[in-house]
Chains A and B, each alone.
Chain A
Amino acid sequence: MLRDKAPVWITFIVGAFMVSKFFLNVPQVTKVAGELEQWCLIIVGISIVLGVVNILRVNLKVVANRGRDWGYKLALIVSMLGMTAVGIVELIVRKSIAGESVFQYLYRNVYTPLSATMFSLLAFFIASAAFRAFRARNFRAAVLLVAGAIVMIGRVPLGATIHPILPKLADWIMAYPNAAGQRGMVIGAALGVVATGLRVIFGIERPYLRGN
């Protein structure tokens, strides 16, 4: 009962209450809903802590057993604990991690270049894919490529410099055929989300029962 039925009832009661909040303009309901929203923020925050602790646990196990790439995992653990320790010291001494601090220094000079460069690698992959994979094998693929080419030329100022019609054509493609295609997908997805939301609230789908 507690293991399987209780979560279903919790989802239903909380879900139904949060939906009813939008139909009932009653101060008490709004107050309770507001407090439940606070609880959500806090539980999500604790879930993040759970995720980070799990990363530590998994990698500590590999290092302890001298598993594959254990040296790199050790670097991961050291950098994680180092960043955490710096943050804790800042919070204790300065009560805040904002402003000029060692924590922000590490964010600027370690985290930022790593994060930015990881994503910038994608430019090379798209260049490689442009040569190897983007082939007009049939008429529909050709439509895709031509639309992409017009947008690529029209969206940069060089396109406007070559001929003023290029940005206009690109903007028209984005504003009408593209918008129509995207809207069809948005409406379809919205119908799916509404249906799935109802199924989850009424306990027909129970994603929280997977796993443990």
Chain B
Amino acid sequence: MFLRLPVKLKYAPDEKTRGVYDAVESLEPGTIVYISADYGPSTRAELLPMHEAIVYHALKRDLRIVSAALWPDGPPLIDLVFGKIKAELAEEGIQKEYGADFVNLGYKAGNDVTIVKIGSSIPETFPVDYNKTPLASLPLMQGVKNFDQIGLLVDISAGWPGVREWLQQAQQRFKIRLVAGVTAVMAPDLYAFFQSKQIEGFLGGLAGAAEYEYLLGRLEGRAMAGMNVQSIAHFVILGFILFGNVLYYRQWRRSRLER
């Protein structure tokens, strides 16, 4: 990254980030993880790094991934992430193949109804995958009927439909384990659901993605690279706020003295 601070930054992953990490770590190899990529290019900067990190973590642990999207922008991003992580793992000597280790089921309209339908029958909701291959001919999808065969649900979410809808329609109805990766704007809403243990953990924005990369040891990850500039920018914004308030206070004092 073109801007690096002259100081080594310390990372302190919190409970909610560790919750995501521990949820993936707790799964036995071969378990199927369902990842819903409910975001688009508009929030790619925040969510793509965490999507990559979670897919990397899952595939490295020999988990299998079924991925789909409730947002129309999602499927090409799923392909992008799989392609990148497949290449990265290949460099580490780990081979992962489409159809056996991960599949992209594509996009489905319908929002809440689609979630309920997926929970009752994945093949009926997605008769074919994004490449128009019938599900029956994909090795990974053999025997996968609904959420009963899914070990963990991961929602990468930028808004509506997103993690709140997965909570309401999937996690509660089908009693499935849920973790999420959300934009920073959505993160404050989820603390209440984390405290109630409806979500086991979530990653909030680029900072959450950076903490996850730190836990995975991906120290050259895109999120960690962005944290330098992010840190400076926050202090700049705080400086603006402070300066604006100082000017406001001086104006207020002057008007009081004049009175």
A residues bordering B, Cβ < 8 Å?
22, 30, 34, 37-38, 40-41, 44-45, 48, 95-96, 98-99, 104, 107-108, 111-113, 115-116, 118-120, 126-127, 130-137, 145, 149, 152-153, 155-161, 164, 167-168, 171, 174-175, 178-180, 182-183, 186
Contact = CB atoms under 8 A, between A and B. Distances in A.
Contacts of B117: 34, 37-38, 41
A167 B14 contact: yes
A41 B113 contact: yes
Contact of B108 (A30, A41, A159, A182): A41
A98 B79 contact: yes
B244 A160 contact: no
A98, A118, A127: most-surrounded residue (chain B CB, <10 A): A98
Interface in B6-52: 7-12, 14-15, 40-45
B76, B79, B131, B204: most-surrounded residue (chain A CB, <10 A): B76
In this complex, the interface size class of chain B, counting residues with CB under 8 Å from chain A, is 35 or more
A43 to B, nearest CB: 9
Contacts of A44: 109-111, 113
Contacts of B210: 157
B192 A130 contact: no
B165 interface: no
Contacts of A34: 117, 120-121, 124
B113 A37 contact: yes
Minimum-distance CB pairs A-B, first 3? A158-B231, A157-B9, A41-B110
B95 interface: no
B42 A115 contact: yes
A96 to B, nearest CB: 4
B149 interface: no
Interface string B64-83: 00000000010110010000
A127 B14 CA distance: 27
Contacts of A164: 10, 12
B137 to A, nearest CB: 14
Interface in B212-246: 227, 230-232, 234-238, 240-241, 243-245
A22 B106 CA distance: 28
Given A118-B42, A120-B45, A98 B7 contact: no
